[in-house]
Structure 1
């Protein structure tokens, strides 16, 4: 569950990644239909970049500021719970404000590889300085005792660990302080279905005839500039120097120019949008419920944060 994973990341136990193509696919929602068959876009836009593009599933994915608000409220509740057991659980106020508050959870800036000419000309494939995540102010690992109170009797992913239910004679909440926080806020941080659709559509789009043909056209264009890549995602995996080099910038600029020449972005967006619309239609009821749950958690999070500010 994303809610538990997020809570664990707060404690420095797990590391999170947001890159769509680099992250493992989200766990499939039980009973979800995540296969789009015989999908064909009705129209293909001409796009030079993804700057003004949004995908259908973004209506259901949490925005950066929404996720940060929920996670911050969860941290405050965990801190209150941990304090009852004598543990100091640090909460960084800065974590409430993400680098890009309204940024899209679909990672459109890099979803289809490098697509912005200005960014390529200045940074190559490096991330702009203002897009880099700020590390938490306190990343000290939890002690074993604090971890047990944090997790309580939560089943461990590896099947190991002791399922602790008491600490120094005091009853630990079900699933520890992380479980208590989730029960108070609700499951708004758990958006597995929308994330699964986000991942599934991306993977399925790359197997469609339209996108694979666009890949071939882009690759042929890149060969004329002296670069051999089978996929526009491959350059993102290249080993980068500490700062953008002239050769890296040239490759990134060629990459973007070839995408524009072949309309790869327009084709890919059209195909993936069609896939997502199909998957959303198949799972509409569950997605609507998921978004309703998120709104409830957002409301509760706002109250927790307001109470924390006034105390």
Structure 2
């Protein structure tokens, strides 16, 4: 298990990355990740803060902001002479993330580890109207569409420092930034704070995995699995036996193993330990990065009336 990133700015070295790909032209779905029970799926979306920091927006509010941002991007692309189809926030609701261990036996009984969903993920990717549209454009026109959405490197760009100290960036113009500016007013401040907060989930999971109590719970889970004829050392090892391979997995066995994983997660205490440690490190990280967390929530709260106006709700 990897140690968490250093909290100090120089922990993993400073570097600058610039967004150049046409983000948003394909539905990139992950159905094989691992997240705690009850946690929202998706790395880029920050959950409301806990503890002393009041949540300014609910899940419904964040969905409203997502829809408004997509609509603003669509309008901007149309004004630039291109077509753009808004993307649903959750195009495959059946997909779930279990960052530490599968702990829902009912879901596992239906989907196993999710291999049955992989063809649907691929179909969504192939059929994404933005991807199809771009693929049908002449090369120069396609390049112009990329620039219209993601902007150019001319002028000052947006900058965000991640929890470990790495620096990432985004072009300072284009329809994505135009949408952020219309919703949040301060596009640079939104990008900096939201990018940092959106990356706290990965740091949180690393910290949980580095806890001796978590490691002990995984060993107890493994012993439970062995007792039932499934000699896996970790949940990831069990999952990897059925996902990402070149050949089709044994569907019946996948379901049996996944269901037993969920049962052992509760019998061994791993599910409870993972959830408790996850909540603990979530609170700790949000305290450490309170300025960014509060900024995200303030900007979201202020953006809600604008989002309703955009969508006519």
2-side partners of 1:128 and 1:295: how far apart? 39
Q: Note if 1:296 corresponds to 2:288.
A: no
- Are 2:212 and 1:206 aligned? no
Q: Which residue of 2 aligns with 1:89?
A: 83
The one of 233, 258, 268 aligned to 1:262: 268
**What secondary structure is seen at the aligned counterpart in 2 of 1:226?**
coil
Distance 1:174 1:247, change over 3 A: closer
Does the residue aligned with 1:205 lie in a helix, a strand or coil?
A: helix
Tell me what 2:75 maps to: 80
Query: How many Å apart are 1:202 and its aligned residue?
Result: 0.9
Counterpart pick for 1:218 among 215, 218, 221: 221
CA distance in 1, matches of 2:71, 2:214: 45
The answer on 1:177 being equivalent to 2:175 is yes
In structure 1, the residue matched to 2:311 is: 305
Q: What is aligned with 1:50?
A: 37
Distance in structure 1 (CA, Å) of the matches to 2:91 and 2:263:
28
Query: Does residue 137 of structure 2 align to residue 123 of structure 1?
Result: no
Pairwise CA distance, 1:218? 1.0
**Cα offsets for 1:1-24 (capped at 9, x unmatched):** xxx97x943234x846586559xx
State whether residues 48 and 58 of structure 2, in contact with CA within 8 Å, keep that contact through their aligned partners in structure 1. no
Tell me the number of residue pairs that the alignment of Structure 1 and Structure 2 aligns.
250
Q: Give the deviation of 1:81 after TM superposition.
A: 2.8
TM-score normalised over the length of structure 1: 0.65
Distance 1:197 1:97, change over 3 A: closer
Note the 1:11-90 alignment, pairs <5 A: 11-12=25-26, 15=28, 17=30, 21=34, 50=37, 58-60=47-49, 65-85=60-80, 87-90=81-84
Give 1:261 shift.
1.5
Tell me, yes or no, if the aligned pair for 1:68 and 1:98 is still in contact at 8 Å.
no
Q: How does the TM-score come out when normalised to structure 2?
A: 0.64
Q: Which runs of 5+ in 1 are unaligned?
A: 23-48, 156-172
Q: Using the alignment, how far apart are the partners of 1:238 and 1:261 within structure 2?
A: 22
**Do the aligned partners of 1:114 and 1:120 also contact (CA within 8 Å) in 2?**
yes
Give 1:79 deviation, angstroms: 3.1
Structure 2 unaligned residues grouped into runs of 5+ = 1-17, 41-45, 50-54, 155-170
Q: Which residue of 2 aligns with 1:160?
A: none
For the structure 1 residues 65 and 245, does the alpha-carbon distance in structure 2 shift closer, same or farther, using more than 3 Å as the test?
same
Tell me what 2:143 maps to.
144
Per-residue deviation at 1:68?
Answer: 4.4
Q: CA deviation at 1:259?
A: 1.2
Correspondent of 1:245 among 246, 251, 257:
251
